[in-house]
Amino acid sequence: MSKNTDFEKAIEELEKIVSQLEGGEVSLDESIKLFERGMELTGICRKTLDTARQKIVTLTEAEEEAENGGK
């Protein structure tokens, strides 16, 4: 499974959790469990986005070096 797929699945699960929590139909204990899972998923998404951001920075810097003749 690719990181992109993991990211997409994490976002989808987060959306379901938010919907459940906003619906107010779950118990306090279940709300806490959902919140904990949401935090885990947020961490997965944050890590994936940080990795993507770093790749963009690296590619941008490489391109700028190439344009400046490697200076």
Share of the chain above pLDDT 90, in %: 79
- Yes or no: say if 55 and 4 are a contact pair by the CB < 8 Å rule: no
Share of the chain above pLDDT 70, in %: 92
pTM of the shown model: 0.77
Mean pLDDT throughout 38-44? 96
Q: Does residue 23 have a pLDDT over 90?
A: yes
Q: Where are the domains of the chain?
A: 3-67
Q: Does residue 71 have a pLDDT over 60?
A: no
- Which residue has tokens 């990181």? 3
Tokens for 30, please give them: 């279940």
Total residue length of the chain: 71
**What would be the CATH architecture of the domain defined by 3-67?**
Orthogonal Bundle (1.10)
pLDDT value, residue 43: 95
